[in-house]
Amino acid sequence: MRTASILRETKETRVSVTLDLDNAAAPNIKTGIGFFDHMLTALFFYAKIGATVDVDGDLYVDAHHSVEDCGVVIGQALREACGDKAGIRRFADCHLPMDEALAFCALDISNRAYLAFDAEFPQAVIGGYDACLTAEFFRAVAVNAGLTLHLKASGDNSHHITEALFKAFGVCLRNALTIDGGGVSSTKGVL
């Protein structure tokens, strides 16, 4: 079974994440940050991953710790749920439009953590969510899941740009995590 449950507690946050890579149950997301809940719901919906995410963070400071720590735990849960990665496609890419915005995502479930992020946000705040936290979230996921992740987006509306990035990442996860054979997809024999 490709599942994982991770709990991380710090002085700043308490983050609980449960993922089921093979059960596309409706996501149950509660971070205390409305726009971020919307983004995570979209991500897991398009990834077709069953997800429960519960975050209790120091929002009286700002959303940074909650968003980044959520990325850390989601990344750890992805890594654990993937197990030895036997049979997965491993690679995926996607262009995803959302109105005037266009996002590109390419990823490799490689055990080599890397993030290339190229997106500008014309509006700095989206419903109380600082748009700059988008890169922090994806960096935390990539590092903790062991993903090589390339994200790029353009557009005029920060909501559309951010949502297109989260949806494109979800589509890529779905495709890369699809079981498409036996063994590990690597000429080395391991990832």
Mean pLDDT for 161-174 is 98
Calpha distance 49→156 (Å, rounded)? 30
- pLDDT tens by residue, 68-92: 999 999 999 999 999 999 899 999 9
Q: What does the domain layout of the chain look like in residue ranges?
A: 3-177
Global confidence as pTM: 0.95
Least confident of 110-114, 133-137, 150-154, 185-189: 185-189
Q: Write the CATH number of the domain with boundaries 3-177.
A: 3.30.230.40
Contact yes or no for 23/50 (Cβ under 8 A): yes
pLDDT of residue 181: 78
Residues 6 or more apart whose CB falls under 8 angstroms from that of 140 comprise 68, 69, 70, 71, 72, 74, 75
- pLDDT tens by residue, 86-143: 899 999 999 999 999 999 999 999 999 999 999 999 999 999 999 999 999 999 999 9
Phi, psi dihedrals of residue 36, rounded to the nearest 5°: -65, -40
